[in-house]
Structure 1
Amino acid sequence: ILEATKPYLLELGVTVTINEKLIASDPFPILESTATISDGDADLAIHAKAIVGIDLQQKGMQMPQKFGSASSYGKKYALGNLFLIDDTADSDATNSHGKASAAKNKETLTSKKDPAYNKAIDYVKAGGKIEAIKAKYSLSKEIEAELKTL
């Protein structure tokens, strides 16, 4: 998330920080992750939090891995909350764990009159990848060629 937002943060002159705090330890540790976006004025900073429990009984992980995993999740969800990112397409949410799944139907983007066309143009102009658009939409050859010229 931070890598994807870095160019925009630089352009806007803002920074994002993430702080963590252990807020409970009984019956199990709970981490609170706070993501903050700020232009340096603390009064105008925007904060978003995520709370993550650490499963000390989880098999197959050493203690540092348990805390590291929980920390990563907390940061990810705090940033998702800060930037209003819907995590339904998250690899954890879509992981089939080896089970076959039905293919998803993509939306088609074949007309310049489609509102998604303008979104795609803006996305590519802002540095977005055409492959990301193709993951969501079936593009006509004409639309794909047009996007490649940007």
Structure 2
Amino acid sequence: MSDNVYQKLMRVQSKLKAPKNQFNKFGNYSYRSCEDILEGLKPLLKEVGAILVINDEVVNIANRFYIKATASFISIDDGEKIISSELAREEEERVKFDLAQLTGSVSSYARKYALNGLFAIDDTKDSDSTNKHDKDNITSLNNENKWTNPKLTDNQIKRLYAIAHSKGVVAEKVKSQVEKQLNKKVEELTKAEYDKVCEAYENIKVANS
């Protein structure tokens, strides 16, 4: 008697290895992409007798358009399936992305986290959970319909302090200025606010010595 779809998925989950084959030079960390996960899955799917199908669709929620990625794990013996979905959209303020890049980035993000949910991959401690390749310009809506907003990484905060320091402003001064002007702590800044603060310090004129 062959395994049912749940037994097959359990076998794949227990054997799947998805190493972090990508490297972000700006943030100095490694991360895994959707493609890395798929490469790890292919031999396991063949081994257990299952296929994976990923579909994207555009949905409208509260007058905003989302990409909904659905990953379906299907047993080829009986057609039984288990699915996982993730919704994602672009941020209100798009930074250095044209529309084609943005759509591709949103799709990749949604697909990756749909796969994470289906195959029990935990990225919560991964630098990629806030990496600049996808989440800086994306907001997700998880399966419980709770908003998940990306937070600034430690490397982004260090970059801000480094920019300010190059203009003669120490970190403590940055913290006080942000709290005074925006009424929040540096680590609570949105990505759009962070970009504006970095730009403001970059534009400070320093007299030649």
Please classify the TM superposition score into its range, dividing by the shorter chain length.
0.5 to 0.7
Q: Does residue 91 in structure 1 map to residue 123 in structure 2? A: no
In 1, the alpha carbon distance for the partners of 2:110 and 2:129 equals 16
1:87 match: secondary structure: coil
Query: How far apart are residue 93 of structure 1 and its match?
Result: 2.9
Alignment partner, residue 70 of structure 2:
34
CA contact (8 A) 1:55 1:66 kept: no
Task: Give 2:58's aligned residue.
Answer: 22
For residue 64 of structure 2, give the secondary structure of its aligned residue in structure 1: coil
> TM-score, structure 2 length as denominator?
0.43
CA distance in 2, matches of 1:52, 1:92: 16
In structure 2, the partner of 1:61 is 97
Cα 1:75/1:27, change in 2 over 3 Å:
same
Q: Is the 1:56–1:66 contact (alpha carbons within 8 Å) kept by the matching residues of 2?
A: no
- Give 1:97-112 correspondences, 5 Å limit: 97=155, 99=158
Per the alignment, do residues 67 and 56 of structure 1 end up closer, same or farther by CA in structure 2, a change over 3 Å counting?
A: farther
- Contact conserved, 1:87 with 1:93, CA < 8 A, in 2? yes
What are the superposed Cα offsets for residues 99-129 of structure 1, whole Å, 9 maximum, x if unpaired? Answer: 49xxxxxxxxxxxxxxxxxxxxxxxxxxxxx
Letter in 2 for 1:46: I
Match of 2:117 in 1: 81
* Counterpart position of 1:128: none
CA distance in structure 1 between the aligned counterparts of 2:101 and 2:61, rounded to whole angstroms: 17
- Alpha-carbon distance, 1:23 to partner: 0.8
Match of 2:42 in 1: 6
Determine if contact 1:51/1:74 at 8 Å carries over to the other structure: yes
Trace 1:100-139 onto structure 2 (pairs within 5 A).
Answer: none
Gaps (5+ residues) in structure 1? 101-150
Per the alignment, residue 30 of structure 2 pairs with: none
* d(CA) in 2 for partners of 1:97, 1:65: 24
CA 1:64–1:46 in structure 2 vs 1: closer, same or farther (change >3 Å)?
same
Q: Which has the larger radius of gyration?
A: 2
**Counterparts of 2:89 and 2:58, CA distance in 1:** 10
Partners of 1:39 and 1:93 in 2: CA distance: 30
Task: Give the 3 Å change call, closer, same or farther, for CA 94–71 of structure 1 in structure 2.
Answer: closer
